[in-house]
A and B are shown apart, each in its own frame.
Chain A
Amino acid sequence: MSSSSNPSTHHTSTIGSIGTPSRRNTELALLVFAVVIPVFAYANVGLAINDSVPPGLLSYGLGLGLLAGVGHLVVRKFAPYADPLLLPVATLLNGLGLVLIWRLDQSKRLQALDNFVQAAPRQLLYTALGIALFVVVLVFLKDHRVLQRYTYISMVGALVLLLLPLVPGLGKNVFGARIWIQIPGLGSIQPGEFAKIVLAVFFAGYLMVKRDALALASRRVIGLYLPRGRDLGPIIVVWAISILILVFETDLGTSLLFFGMFVIMLYVATERTSWIVFGLLMSAAGAVGVATFEPHVQQRVQAWLDPMREYTLSQEGVAGHTEQSMQALWAFGSGGTLGTGLGQGNSDLIKFAANSDFILATFGEELGLAGVMAILLLYGLIVERGVRTSLAARDPFGKLLAVGLSGAFALQVFVVAGGVMGLIPLTGMTMPFLAYGGSSVLANWALIGILIRISDTARRPAPAPAPNPDAEMTQVVRP
């Protein structure tokens, strides 16, 4: 459990808390950049489209600055030793996403569509709610280990969230994927985004208790430690649920995300490579099995293998086909190395979901290869800081939860960006922070809040030991 790279464990605990730098000022400095960059981008879009600085520039800048400032102050007060990179990177991504959503709002081509709404004001509201949720997490979740108590409640909660879209009358089918629920008066929610966090809590709590049984009771066959039959239970259950999601919600991405997250956490908990092998075999078997009889999945794979054919079919008006994949590829290609410049591309040709699932294509066209690589590296930074937090955490529950959340985040980025760029078949998920969508923004701010909470605990200097009456006389030496 000891983590050699954690600076706090290098101290002998008798010396007590030599102040580990809290890095809060670093965070503040980075946050300034995270606010200023989107403000400049916003001005840039306005100048490119309307030849004038957008009238909302000041209020946008102040608003984003205020939200970031609140976030920062709350971290300073409630999680002073937290990782200094998570908040600024999330703010930057969220701010850039807002700018591009506003930019797509200005598109005449999208305005001509029937169901057009101004998305940027809503997204700003969601962002405010997201940061509020972030604040709530930090203020009320004083110690992440509290979550451990809710292991089985989390399980039930996650199952409910996952199954909600299947409830008749509540679930909504958007382009073949049933991952939405419609709540009258509130709009639609993607419960899968929240289920991601709740499931991570359940997996962490469950695996923390069962890890020894899963890890040690095994037989060795050809260099692999095979688990006992009855220990296979949980992985088979999760696998079955993933397959059910795939079949009934026809969403490859969500299914892959949950199963992948579970395999990652199982591997970390047990240190058994055999679980990875099992996981890969089972997901391969599941994917192939479902793809053979599920036409929606087949079609997605077809569209991925030959996006041009899919485009042609959609132009001929064949139902169920969409031009989006090809349009996204054209957007990326037309952007080239440096992009057309903000506000000067035609990524709105993607039309449906241009500002949500496909928003990365707008980055690709207008900021080019350079911009997309920067965005991807920012995501990479969040993921690696999350894994770093897991390494530094001192309790197994915190370790598992942090790696589960970071791993899920990484898988989500991979599945969405890979789908939009044509690396893997397209699935119906959104780029965290960038894409338009309340569920996604809220859930991801909560995720960052939990990671910050774990990292605060992990980086916090070890508490001074209770005063020892013998301390004067005896020198305690610990390794």
Chain B
Amino acid sequence: MNKPLRRIAIFCGLLILALLIRDNWIQYVQADSLKDDPKNRRVSIARYATPRGDIIVDGNPITGSTKTSGDDFNDFEYKRTYKDGAMWAPVTGYASQAFGATQLENIEDGILTGNDDRLFFRRTLDMITGKKKEGGNVVTTLNAAAQKAAYDGLLKRGKGAVAAIDPETGAILALASTPSYDPSTFAGNSTKVDGAAWEKLQKKNNPDDPMLNRALREIYPPGSTFKVVTAAAALEHGLYPDPDAKTDSPDPWTMPDTTTELPNDGNIPCKDATLRNALRFSCNTVFGKVGSDLGKDKMLETAEKFGFNKEQFIPIRASASNFPTEMDKPQTALSSIGQFETATTPLQMAMVASAVANDGTLMKPYMVDKRQAPNLDVIEQTDPAKMSEPLSEENAQILQSMMETVVKEGTGTRAQINEDGVTVGGKTGTAQHGENNSKNPYAWFISYAKLDDGSSPVAVAVVVEDSNADRNEISGGGLAAPIARDVMKAVIDSKK
């Protein structure tokens, strides 16, 4: 009987060996991914074990931390608080004991909790000296006045979003989205209070989807604002180098390979209009034909230089805006006037405006200026970085003069800032959506402001989805331009 016994001994040894190997697999190979799994409650326990560091705007914290109270057992010691939570939600995201963290609260979690590797030395020192662990701060580039102007303007209009950028650095100045939510309402861990507030904000219970960050994560058809990109392509590829020369544009214009005529909105002088006038009156025929003449490859090249078809990380992820890569001629024409499958985030259109304002150079957008240690030492400073050069300085200045015409005497007059030394350039847009345009269109406005010293402090994109407004009244110039003007004015005033 001993031969089988020895085999059984080996078999039992193999059972134990299998357990040892499995143990090494989960406790060594997979240990880090299990440990840092956001659903692993230990991550949140560590997150709330000490007061969290703050997110700072213009030198003032817009967040805070309080001791968790309540009778129930709670393994989280501290709770997040927010000042003007709803206004800043698209910037901060939320940090909730029950529901995890998103956006800055999530991406900068290491700094805010003090667990970041770069704080390791300090943490060890604190441990030796017996000090409690503290979180560092995240200093943002945002401008409180601009954010307030954007948020208040949007509130009056219902649904919409604003993104504002400093064209010279790429620093984000405002990032607003309405309807919004106050992250402090569900920062805690109570099913009754926080759970109920959370449920109410979910899309299935609230069709307005207040937790959607429209400035970064919603892509809208851009409508006529996209004509700025098409104009840039026309200049850059040498189709019409002179903005004041006549273009070859019949009106009405039948799209190539079709019998469909591309209509203009209203009775506007578009036949053979100059590029400047075509932008001023927002001629579909002219820009549709420009796109079709350039062809999809050249249009795509320019659009992608402006940042289309790529996610942006600022460091919050912004959805990729879409310019179709596969299309025929009529589709190219439609795409070039911001229809067909062209769709963009408000951030993307602000980037377009900022590239034009910054003489053709697109700076990489960013919203975290500094990351600070608990004692306010700077552990990382973001340096502005060039992202691309969608158009030459010369062509950028031509396009600036065209966009300034739009504001001076075109569709964008409501964005004028009547102050000495301030010039504003912009473009309106009214984007159709829904089948057969059955839904109310989106009102768009993109613009930038320039000061007389040649500097350009702000570029902004505004989109308003106003479901209550009368269809005919919706136009970028009427609904969105005033918000853009207020945001730009707030930035200029705060610079003084």
Does A383 belong to the interface (CB within 8 Å)? yes
- 25 residue pairs from A and B, CB less than 8 Å apart: A109-B75, A112-B72, A264-B8, A271-B1, A271-B3, A271-B4, A308-B39, A330-B41, A332-B27, A333-B27, A333-B32, A333-B33, A334-B34, A368-B27, A369-B23, A369-B31, A380-B16, A384-B12, A387-B9, A400-B1, A411-B15, A414-B15, A417-B19, A418-B22, A423-B22
Q: Which of A48-56, A76-84, A97-105, A371-379 contacts B (4 or more CB under 8 A)?
A: A371-379
Mark each residue of chain A from 313 to 346: 1 if its CB lies under 8 Å from any CB of chain B, else 0.
Answer: 0000000000000100110111111000000001
Find out whether the CB atom of B16 lies under 8 angstroms from the CB atom of A372. Answer: no
Does B6 belong to the interface (CB within 8 Å)? yes
Find out whether the CB atom of B2 lies under 8 angstroms from the CB atom of A391. Answer: yes
Find out whether the CB atom of A369 lies under 8 angstroms from the CB atom of B45. Answer: no
User: A residues within 8 Å of B by Cβ?
Assistant: 1, 3-4, 108-109, 111-112, 264, 267-269, 271, 308, 311, 326, 329-330, 332-337, 346, 349, 364, 368-369, 372-373, 376-377, 379-380, 383-384, 387-388, 390-391, 396, 399-400, 403, 406-407, 410-411, 413-414, 417-418, 421-423
Find out whether the CB atom of B2 lies under 8 angstroms from the CB atom of A422. Answer: no
Does B24 belong to the interface (CB within 8 Å)? yes
Q: Which of chain B's residues have a CB closer than 8 A to the CB of A336?
A: 27-28, 31-32, 35
Interface centre among B5, B28, B33 (most CB of A within 10 A): B5
User: Assuming A1-B1, A268-B4, A410-B15, what are 14 further A-B pairs, CB within 8 angstroms?
Assistant: A112-B72, A329-B26, A330-B37, A332-B31, A334-B34, A336-B31, A336-B32, A369-B27, A369-B31, A373-B20, A377-B16, A403-B8, A414-B15, A414-B19
Find out whether the CB atom of B15 lies under 8 angstroms from the CB atom of A267. Answer: no
Find out whether the CB atom of B23 lies under 8 angstroms from the CB atom of A376. Answer: yes
The distance in angstroms between the C-alpha atoms of A249 and B23, with both chains bound, is: 29
Mark each residue of chain B from 38 to 66: 1 if its CB lies under 8 Å from any CB of chain A, else 0.
Answer: 01111001000000000000000000000
- Nearest B residue to A315, CB-CB: B39
Q: Which of chain B's residues have a CB closer than 8 A to the CB of A406?
A: 12
Q: Which of chain A's residues have a CB closer than 8 A to the CB of B3?
A: 271
Does B18 belong to the interface (CB within 8 Å)? yes
- Nearest A residue to B23, CB-CB: A372
Does B73 belong to the interface (CB within 8 Å)? yes
- Nearest A residue to B10, CB-CB: A387
User: B residues within 8 Å of A by Cβ?
Assistant: 1-9, 11-13, 15-16, 18-20, 22-24, 26-28, 30-35, 37, 39-42, 45, 72-73, 75
Find out whether the CB atom of B19 lies under 8 angstroms from the CB atom of A421. Answer: yes
Find out whether the CB atom of A268 lies under 8 angstroms from the CB atom of B1. Answer: yes
- Nearest A residue to B12, CB-CB: A410
Find out whether the CB atom of A330 lies under 8 angstroms from the CB atom of B34. Answer: yes
Q: 3 closest A-B pairs (Cβ-Cβ)?
A: A333-B34, A369-B27, A112-B73
Q: Which of chain A's residues have a CB closer than 8 A to the CB of B13?
A: 380, 384
Using known A-B contacts A1-B1, A376-B23, A422-B22, determine if residue A333 contacts B16 with beta carbons closer than 8 Å: no
**Closest chain A CB from B320 CB (angstroms):** 27
Find out whether the CB atom of A335 lies under 8 angstroms from the CB atom of B27. Answer: yes
Q: Which of chain A's residues have a CB closer than 8 A to the CB of B1?
A: 1, 268-269, 271, 396, 399-400
- Nearest B residue to A345, CB-CB: B42
Find out whether the CB atom of B12 lies under 8 angstroms from the CB atom of A387. Answer: yes
Find out whether the CB atom of A418 lies under 8 angstroms from the CB atom of B18. Answer: yes
Find out whether the CB atom of B18 lies under 8 angstroms from the CB atom of A423. Answer: yes
- Nearest B residue to A272, CB-CB: B4
- Nearest B residue to A383, CB-CB: B12
The distance in angstroms between the C-alpha atoms of A330 and B40, with both chains bound, is: 6
The distance in angstroms between the C-alpha atoms of A332 and B32, with both chains bound, is: 10
**Closest chain B CB from A391 CB (angstroms):** 5
**Closest chain A CB from B474 CB (angstroms):** 41
**Closest chain B CB from A264 CB (angstroms):** 6
The distance in angstroms between the C-alpha atoms of A448 and B23, with both chains bound, is: 26
Using known A-B contacts A384-B9, A391-B5, determine if residue A332 contacts B34 with beta carbons closer than 8 Å: yes
- Complex partner residue of A337 from B2, B5, B9, B31, CB under 8 angstroms: B31
**Closest chain B CB from A470 CB (angstroms):** 33
Q: Which of chain A's residues have a CB closer than 8 A to the CB of B26?
A: 329, 332-333, 364, 421-422
- Nearest B residue to A396, CB-CB: B1
Find out whether the CB atom of B5 lies under 8 angstroms from the CB atom of A399. Answer: yes
- Complex partner residue of B23 from A334, A379, A421, CB under 8 angstroms: A421
The distance in angstroms between the C-alpha atoms of A418 and B20, with both chains bound, is: 10
